[in-house]
């Protein structure tokens, strides 16, 4: 972690250089991440991924013979503040921007960047609307609707679930939509959706679960962040839901830190774009370098941030310039083997990547199975 914090300090110091001088010596890109506040866990994981990718690219000759440098600014996970920080990066003459980690601030960033045309790529913002109709805005993760449909496929076909309840946070339209997508996909396969329950706070979980104590569903699907998700897992365990599977999305990555009893995770599964125990040679190399650098295993946010840098580096190399239009064109046509699988983008700039079903096993994150885009039925 010391290396990560040093990277932030060094990166912020780069703003004293004139943009023109800096661009002559480096390929300069920007990053906006939540490095303080409630969202900082995800931001700091992403920061580590950026740092590792930058070091590796520069150790291998940089981009078109120039070193890569990254200016990282804290966006606080705040949709208004991220726009202020975006304008600060624009003043520095960056070739592209990576950010942010969560959908709400990333949407604000996407709207601001759409007017200017600078290439943007988010490591983990999965709201489908972020890239929709914006030719210069990309992501390194699958969208909410897709992973919700895939989790319904997993529940019905692999867990033999036939009844489901959905818990959706009414404060986030994209998460409510993910709940509806799961429900429709589960019904289409022959499952019965007992209810779609909305909540506003993790304090609501005990009351909601209590409604199903006498007749528990086979699965509860809850598209949420890892901290509320941990509260759901803890509460379900305390109330004795031993035969109900708890299902989530990529935002559950990091949940183990907040679960009181690891045994509560036995029946919990979530989707993710990365798993550090994948035997793929690229993944093994990344995990080894990451652990050597930061003394911890990488979660998905680190891997998708790392991949975002690799995508931009490849696009700039292919474009042969730092022209925004040229980089965007190169990204839209990209074909790249990465630690997330073979990357190409669809018509809405969403990547075609593998999906892992993650389970906490023996107190550790573990890939239960890997599904490709063709794994959906």
Q: What is the dihedral of CA 68, 70, 71, 72, to 10 degrees?
A: 180
Q: Note down the domain range covering 297.
A: 2-142+279-345
Q: Is 70 helix (H, G, I), strand (E, B) or coil?
A: strand
- The CA distance from 189 to 191, in Å, is 6
User: Coil, helix or strand for 216?
Assistant: coil
Do 179 and 289 belong to one domain?
no
Which of 30, 112, 102, 41 shows the shortest CA–CA distance to 73? 30
Q: Say whether both 231 and 368 belong to one domain.
A: yes
How is residue 277 written in tokens? 């125990």
Report pLDDT for 261.
Answer: 87
Same domain, 182 and 289: no
pLDDT, one tens digit per residue, over 298-351 is 999 999 999 999 999 999 999 999 999 999 999 999 999 999 999 999 999 999
Q: Are residues 364 and 225 in the same domain?
A: yes
Q: Are residues 250 and 328 in the same domain?
A: no
For residues 130 and 175, membership in a common domain is answered with no
Same structural domain, 244 and 179 = yes
Q: What per-residue confidence (pLDDT) applies to 372?
A: 63
Considering the domain architecture, whether residues 19 and 112 belong to the same structural domain is answered as yes
* CATH code of the domain covering residue 121: 3.40.50.2300
Identify whether residues 235 and 101 lie together within a single domain: no
According to DSSP, the residues that pair with 30 across neighbouring strands are 71, 97
Rg, the chain, Cα only: 20
Cis peptide before 268 (omega within 30 of 0): no
Distance CA(231)–CA(238), nearest Å, equals 10
Residues 6+ apart with CB under 8 A from 115: none
Q: Is residue 351 part of a domain?
A: no
Give the strands of the sheet with 120-122, arranged side by side: 67-74, 26-33, 97-99, 120-122, 137-139
Residue stretches of the chain with pLDDT short of 50:
1-23, 373, 375-377
pLDDT for 270: 97
Residues 122 and 150 in one domain: no
Task: Please give the pLDDT value at position 13.
Answer: 36
The pLDDT value recorded for residue 225 is 93
* Contacts of range 275-280, beta carbons closer than 8 Å, 24 or more positions apart: 275/356, 275/358, 275/365, 275/366, 275/367, 275/370, 276/303, 276/365, 277/365, 277/366, 277/367, 278/356, 278/367, 278/370, 280/339
Token output for 254: 């990091």
Q: Which two tokens stand for residue 71?
A: 């200016």
Name every residue whose Cβ is closer than 8 Å to that of residue 86 and which is 6 or more positions away in sequence.
Answer: 32, 97, 109, 112, 113
| Number of folded domains that form the chain | 2
Q: Do 237 and 289 fall into the same domain?
A: no
3-state secondary structure 308-373: HHHHHHHHHHHHCCCCHHHHHHHHHCCCEEECCEEECECCCCCECCCEEEEEEECCEEEEEEEECH
- Sign of the alpha-carbon dihedral angle for 64, 65, 66, 69: positive
**Rounded-to-integer distance, Cα 214 and Cα 212, Å:** 6
Q: Are residues 156 and 257 in the same domain?
A: yes
């Amino acid at each position: 972690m010391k290396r990560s914090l040093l990277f932030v300090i060094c990166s912020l110091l780069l703003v004293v250089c004139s943009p023109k001088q800096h661009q002559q010596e480096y390929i300069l890109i920007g990053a906006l991440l939540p490095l303080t506040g409630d969202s900082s866990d995800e931001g700091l994981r992403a920061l580590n991924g950026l740092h590792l990718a930058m070091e590796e690219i520069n150790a291998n000759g940089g981009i078109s013979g120039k070193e890569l440098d990254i200016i990282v600014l804290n966006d606080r996970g705040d949709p208004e503040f991220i726009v202020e920080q975006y304008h600060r990066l624009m003043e520095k003459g960056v070739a592209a921007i990576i950010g942010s980690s969560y959908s709400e601030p990333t949407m604000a960033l996407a709207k601001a960047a759409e007017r200017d045309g600078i290439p943007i790529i988010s490591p983990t913002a999965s709201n489908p609307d972020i890239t929709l109709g914006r030719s210069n805005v990309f992501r390194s993760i699958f969208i909410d609707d897709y992973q919700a449909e895939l989790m319904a496929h997993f529940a019905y076909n692999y867990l033999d679930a036939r009844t489901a309840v959905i818990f959706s946070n009414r404060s986030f339209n994209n998460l409510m939509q993910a709940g509806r997508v799961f429900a429709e996909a589960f019904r289409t396969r022959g499952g019965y959706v007992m209810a779609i329950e909305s909540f506003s706070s993790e304090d609501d979980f005990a009351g909601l679960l209590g409604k199903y104590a006498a007749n528990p569903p086979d699965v509860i699907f809850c598209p949420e962040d890892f901290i509320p998700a941990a509260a759901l897992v803890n509460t379900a365990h305390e109330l004795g839901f031993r035969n109900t599977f708890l299902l989530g999305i990529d935002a559950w990555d990091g949940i183990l830190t907040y679960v009181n009893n690891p045994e509560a995770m036995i029946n919990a599964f979530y989707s993710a774009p990365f798993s550090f125990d994948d035997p793929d040679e690229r993944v093994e190399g990344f995990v080894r370098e990451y652990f050597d650098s930061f003394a911890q295993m990488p979660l998905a946010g680190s891997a998708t941030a790392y991949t975002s840098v690799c995508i931009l580096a490849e696009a700039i190399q292919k474009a042969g310039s730092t022209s925004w239009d040229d980089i965007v064109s190169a990204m839209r046509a990209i074909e790249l083997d990465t630690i997330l699988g073979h990357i190409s983008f669809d018509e809405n700039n969403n990547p075609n990547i593998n999906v892992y079903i993650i389970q906490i096993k023996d107190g550790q994150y573990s890939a239960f199975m890997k599904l490709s885009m063709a794994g959906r039925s």
